[in-house]
Chain A
Amino acid sequence: MLIRKSSDLRNSDVTPKPLYVNRRRFLTGSIALGAFGALAGTSRGAKIEDFKKTSYNAGDEKVTPLEAITHYNNFYEFGTDKEDPAKNATNFRTSPWTLKVEGAVAKPMAFDRDSLMKIAPLEERIYRHRCVEAWSIVVPWIGFPLNALLKQVEPTSKAKYVAFESYYDPKQMPLARWGGIQFPYVEGLRLDEAMHPLALLAVGLYGEALPNQDGAPIRLVLPWKYGFKSAKSLVKIRLVEKQPPTTWNLSAPNEYGFYSNVNPGVDHPRWSQAKERRLGELFRRNTLMFNGYSEVASLYAGMDLHKNF
């Protein structure tokens, strides 16, 4: 069951209406076009036509307008203002691209730009996305479960964690030097977290290939964790034995933990995590434990989540 406590989650009548109506029209169009179509090209904004709908749907939630999802981004490689990535990532080259999966695996693999889209059957999953800065959005991602990829490479018994690395090229990302964090951006998960069916590798949103500013061509999506865990523009996935370093944790270990699960009970030192502002809504709403995805709770059974924040 995906959407819990629907009573807490409604009251969102302020989603910009024109955009919402646009989206309706757009979705109807894409459904009409899609269904049996072959996979279109994979350049930015290209329609992804072959994906299936899932039970991870919006439920009572209103999907955030595409305009907000693509013009309010934290992608420090392209500048630290929310509007920066939309402006500065337009010429980001995502082709050719190579994603390597390696480390403690029996079958290391590498995927180029086109094969990324064929690792596993694509599906649409509408997830809540909660930023550590206490704002949130609802995104119709297109992708496939991370575990589908991990199973293909066959992790060995030494694989305890999964390390992720984002693309970094100072020439294409000249503003990164002002970001105040280390690049390339790195993230990590425990293997059992990475194998959880909720963990997604996204290649698109709103029926299209991922826009550059949202982490083209492939990114992590971990809806029960703060947004920064969902590393963008992945070039390397490495199965490892020890807990890998993670970028924001390196930058401020007292503010950003390795786990960084959404937890209204554990404040960020500088702001409360009890509430969040859903983009498009006027007042803050309550933040839910694990962002409402209680199915992940068993991963952390017996752990002190105040200590392992």
Chain B
Amino acid sequence: MNKLAKILRSPWTKIAVFALCLVPISLLARPLWMLATTGYSPDLTANPIEYITHYTGTWTIRFLLITLSVTPLRKIFNQPLLARYRRMLGLFAFFYVCLHFLTWFVLDKFFSFPEMWADILKRRYITVGMLGFAMLLPLAVTSTAGWVRRLGFVKWQRLHRLIYFAALAGVIHYYWLVKSDVRLPLMYGAILAILMLYRLAARQLARQPAAPRPVTTPNTASLPD
């Protein structure tokens, strides 16, 4: 356990996780280069813009779910140091959603605000997707230690619970987008449900002080979830 704590505390681990989070985007580099030089890359399909839009969207949902699994993992395995990685993972979710949005806005809408607004108002999957994106904006901005101080921890924590709704918006966005094969959106929805149910259960248990069970360590109870 001590060994694990040492690893989690190491700056190298942080660098490694950072590099790992860049793997999905870097996997696009070679196919994009091939597309640029030969005009076609089988990895990006015959519709590379759609492929990249879906790819960055999928990774946004995955990073949101990874971020949301930090707290349960931290509590279940009693590894408080895992919390050190949560901000970075959340910011990577934001990074991928920005790429997702820009692919759509630049290559699909060609910077047309009127067209974008029309879509946001008219198409529910875009409405809910944009809502999720909008919820992630303040979270990215207030992700610094300075903002935690400025807002005060309780307020900051409350604000950052928006990620639950952003993840839900992401899953609904995906569910509404697919035509008929809903397996993948349902799978992400199920993972999100498990992560949320864990939180609910943990909260219920924490509210029963009389319950004869080992008390969770105080420092984990005070951390935001």
Contacts and interface: CB of A to CB of B under 8 A. Distances in A.
Contacts of B183: 178
Interface residues of A, number: 35
Given A68-B46, A72-B45, A181-B180, A283 B38 contact: no
Interface string A124-155: 00000000010100000000000000000000
B179 A180 contact: yes
Contacts of A68: 40, 46
Contact of A279 (B46, B108, B119): B46
A105 B161 CA distance: 66
A236 interface: no
Nearest to A79: B181
A205 B176 CA distance: 34
A242 interface: no
B47 interface: yes
A177 to B, nearest CB: 10
A62 to B, nearest CB: 12
B28 interface: no
Nearest to B182: A180
A65 B123 contact: no
A166 B45 CA distance: 26
A277 B49 contact: yes
Given A279-B47, A283-B110, A14 B39 contact: yes
Nearest to A20: B39
Contact of B46 (A67, A270, A271): A67
A100 interface: no
Contacts of B181: 76, 80, 178-180
Contacts of B107: 282-283
Contacts of B179: 80, 133, 180
B125 interface: yes
B119 A272 contact: yes
Nearest to A279: B46
Contacts of B118: 272
Nearest to B115: A272
Interface in B19-72: 38-40, 42, 45-47, 49-50
Contact of A282 (B49, B122, B123): B49
A272 B176 CA distance: 15
10 contacts: A16-B39, A18-B39, A68-B40, A72-B47, A178-B181, A178-B183, A179-B180, A180-B179, A270-B124, A280-B46
The 6 closest A-B pairs by CB, nearest first: A180-B180, A16-B39, A68-B46, A72-B46, A80-B181, A16-B40
